[in-house]
Amino acid sequence: MPTIVQREVNGCGPYAYRVTYAGDGEQDWEYLGRVDELPTSLFVEDVDGDCEEVA
């Protein structure tokens, strides 16, 4: 299951990435864009308060 990760890069952002486990300790990172420019429908807050991908 992919996870949405938010990161700042060189003090800019935060930016969102979809991270998928690719096996053998490898991960695939897909750039989604600036967090403040993404539709909130991509995220849902789980019981721990972390954001998770909806679809």
pLDDT tens digits, residue range 1-55? 788 888 998 999 899 999 999 889 899 999 999 988 888 777 665 545 455 555 4
Residue 53: predicted pLDDT? 52
Task: Decide if 42 contacts 35 (C-beta within 8 A).
Answer: no
Q: How far apart are CA 41 and CA 9, in angstroms?
A: 24
Task: Decide if 41 contacts 53 (C-beta within 8 A).
Answer: no
Q: How far apart are CA 50 and CA 44, in angstroms?
A: 8
Q: How far apart are CA 35 and CA 6, in angstroms?
A: 7
Residue 45: predicted pLDDT? 56
> pTM for the complete prediction?
0.67
DSSP three-state, residue 6: strand
Tokens of 15: 């930016």
Residue 1: predicted pLDDT? 73
